[in-house]
Structure 1
Amino acid sequence: MKLFGLPALAAVSLVSSLVAGAAGAQTAIQAGEWETTEKTAMEGMQPMAPSSKKVCLAADEAQLERLLFPTPDEIKQHGCTYEAGAKKAGTLVATLTCPPNDQTPGVTAKAEITYTKTSYQGLGQLEAADKSGTTVKGKSELSGKRLGDCPK
């Protein structure tokens, strides 16, 4: 299962890691240990197994974007752009766009996430395109919850 010579999961991981610390309005959440879950399906491909991970957020990085997107440095390193959408209380809307290169397809990821200080859930829309213009679309269900204080 490859996406333009790149495993599809790697492309999705790139998007997931490229969306969080972006230079836009930050949405405050509670610091501590978080568990995040992502279920992604790409058109024309077998369903991917849901992925889950635990992340410890310190007080100075307790923002929803940190759980969903890469750091601003990672975004810049990949030549990507991050655009915050309309601001609504309890909702994060954002778009991340990354150009294709020799190793990875170009990706546009749009997310609409509802959140509280201790949980979030929402949907992501993905579109990946290689240099030849072949595109694949996909969807992600994103969720997370605060588990408590970070382990010591």
Structure 2
Amino acid sequence: MRLFLLPAAVAVSMIAVAAGAQTAIQAGEWETTEKTEMEGMQPMQPSSKKVCLAADEAQLERLLFPTPDEIKQHGCKYEPGAKKAGVLAATLTCPPNDQTPGVTAKAEITYTQTSYQGVGELVAADKSGTTVKGKSALSGKRLGDCPK
């Protein structure tokens, strides 16, 4: 996904996969929404997508994050937050490279079996030290069974 051209919500969306946290949710068709604001930039349009989760992939992480391999490939470091029932919290730090800035993203997502919502904070810094801060609102809901 995602982090690598830095749509900001993307970075926030990367947060928990590397930990291997598996947060069970109901299989089926889900609609996810991201709303992101970055300091000094024009407002971004909210983005929404529908995702069909099979029973064997019905985890919150599948909706929010790229694969652990993608995170590892970019040299990112994952730190889980405090464990609380119904809350997924984590921080992801990725170093800058020639194409993309470094990113520190913190997120806290509250979830049930059929919905989630949360916030993320993002700081992006390029190799010259220029930083940009941002915030994201993340949400999703189960719509029903996957279309056939």
TM-score of the pair, normalised by structure 2: 0.90
- Point out where structure 2 has 5 or more consecutive residues left out of the alignment: none
Are 1:18 and 2:10 matched, yes or no?
Answer: no
Q: CA RMSD for the aligned pairs?
A: 1.8
CA distance in 1, matches of 2:120, 2:9: 13
Question: Are the equivalent residues in 1 in contact too, given 2:96–2:125 (CA < 8 A)?
Answer: yes
Q: What is the 5 A alignment of 1:2-151? A: 10-11=5-6, 12=8, 14-16=10-12, 18-19=14-15, 21-151=17-147
1:93 counterpart letter in structure 2: A
Percent of aligned positions that are identical: 84
Runs of 4+ with >4 A deviation: none
Secondary structure of 1:109's aligned partner: strand
Distance change in 2, residues 1:44/1:106 (3 Å): same
- Point out where structure 1 has 5 or more consecutive residues left out of the alignment: 1-7
1:27 counterpart letter in structure 2: T
**How many residue pairs end up in the alignment?**
145
Secondary structure of 2:18's aligned partner: coil
Residue 17 of structure 1: CA displacement?
5.5
Shifted more, 112-121 versus 77-86: the winner is 77-86
Secondary structure of 2:63's aligned partner: helix
Distance change in 2, residues 1:38/1:14 (3 Å): closer
